[in-house]
Structure 1
């Protein structure tokens, strides 16, 4: 099946036998398209799959998180504290979002670095500086102290 059976987009293959199509569907394909295919039909099928999967993703993911007067709109990448807008840098927003998604959980420095920077080779001082500035901006707007340090372990959203 040319490696397409598990893909989310329709596999495009020259195999038109019913058994090949049944194998494709049984291994997880959402659709099956035989070559030569009409390019418009292929694009329409891809668009249909994307509509279905995008709708599922949006239904599962919350778009706003509100904790202790801090409202984080994940889609708009905006933050308000008691209805006062707070301007954050990209890194500060990402740190706040990660902490707010896990409010009671202590996240290690490594987990925060991985979730915000990915494969990064800087030092811990960068994380400390960003967290300090994040705390300053949230508290200046009247919000709680966020990114509470748990000695020797990491950080959590609030105390």
Structure 2
């Protein structure tokens, strides 16, 4: 795995062995890492180190990973988050995604899987998500600046996570096409990643909710049994 710029990952877990194993795995992949042992330390580390991605355990003392994610998103921090969970529970997974996480891995996990999933997120944030949209996209009241990873509705910025932005950019690159969940998973993660349809649906809900707060009700359309496509975005 190689990146055009040095990348830093913050590893947050109360288990020092997990932090060490993941730090070693990321180091072998050419990614620098910093560590935090609990949620409070994680918030401090994000402010100090400005990592490119946070690998965040859910179950931790003092402040759990869900609360860390809530606080980061409430502050407008869109740093990509990869959750680690010890509970193989779909509700927990979807809750994490709805809070603004980009992906999740369930313990026990392979360090190589964590690095691979983190790598997919880092690659999306290192380059424009869709080649056809390299100079940006304007569709109705929606505007995407793929160079700056910014989304706007009627001139107002809508803060999205890396995955949310990539998902919207994929739809905007083919505004007349309906993209199935499987196609969207391949666009976001690459082939072979075990990502459920429900996770894609959670990301879609997040995008819709964020745009609805700016008055947008038609940014993404659902075609039942088929998939999603870009909505009219305020166009008559």
Q: Does TM-score exceed 0.5, indicating one fold?
A: yes
Q: Is the 8 A contact 1:92 1:130 kept in 2?
A: yes
> What is the DSSP-based 3-state SS (H/G/I as helix, E as strand, rest coil) of the residue aligned with 1:107?
coil
Given candidates 212, 221, 236, the residue that maps to 1:139 is 212
Aligned to 2:150: 78
Indicate whether 1:93 and 2:165 are aligned: yes
Q: Which of the residues 227, 230, 236 maps onto 1:154? A: 227
Q: Does the CA contact (< 8 Å) of 1:70 and 1:143 recur in 2?
A: no
SS of the aligned residue for 2:169 comes to helix
Q: What is the distance in 2 between the residues matched to 1:95 and 1:147?
A: 10
* Counterpart position of 2:197: 124
Whether the 8 Å CA contact 1:71–1:79 is kept in 2: the answer is yes
Contact 1:92 1:131 in 2 (8 A): yes
After the TM superposition, which residues 8-19 of structure 1 pair with which residues of structure 2 at under 5 Å, given as runs?
A: none
Which residue in 2 is equivalent to 1:63? Answer: 135
Distance 1:90 1:61, change over 3 A: closer
What's the secondary structure of 1:66's corresponding residue?
Answer: strand
Inter-CA distance 131–69: structure 2 relative to 1 (3 Å threshold): same
Paired residue for 1:112, among 184, 193, 204? 184
Aligned CA distance change for structure 1 residues 141 and 102 (closer, same or farther; 3 Å): same
The answer for unaligned runs of 5 or more in structure 2 is 1-131
5+ residue gaps, structure 1, are 1-59
Q: Retained in 2: the 8 A contact 1:81–1:143? A: yes
SS in 1 for 2:231: coil
**Bigger Rg over Cα:** 1
TM-score (norm 1): 0.59
What SS is found at the alignment partner of 1:76? coil
Moved more, 137-146 or 91-100: 137-146
Please say if residues 82 and 142 of structure 1, whose CA atoms lie closer than 8 Å, have aligned partners that are also in contact.
no
Secondary structure at 1:135's aligned position in 2?
A: helix
- Structure 1 pair 151–61 and aligned structure 2 pair: CA distance change class (3 A): closer
C-alpha deviation, 1:75, in angstroms: 0.8
Q: How far off its partner does 1:115 sit?
A: 0.3
Task: Please report the TM-score for the alignment, with normalisation by the length of structure 2.
Answer: 0.40
What is the distance in 2 between the residues matched to 1:94 and 1:153? 20
Match of 1:16 in 2: none
Partner Cα separation in structure 2 for residue 123 and residue 82 of structure 1: 33
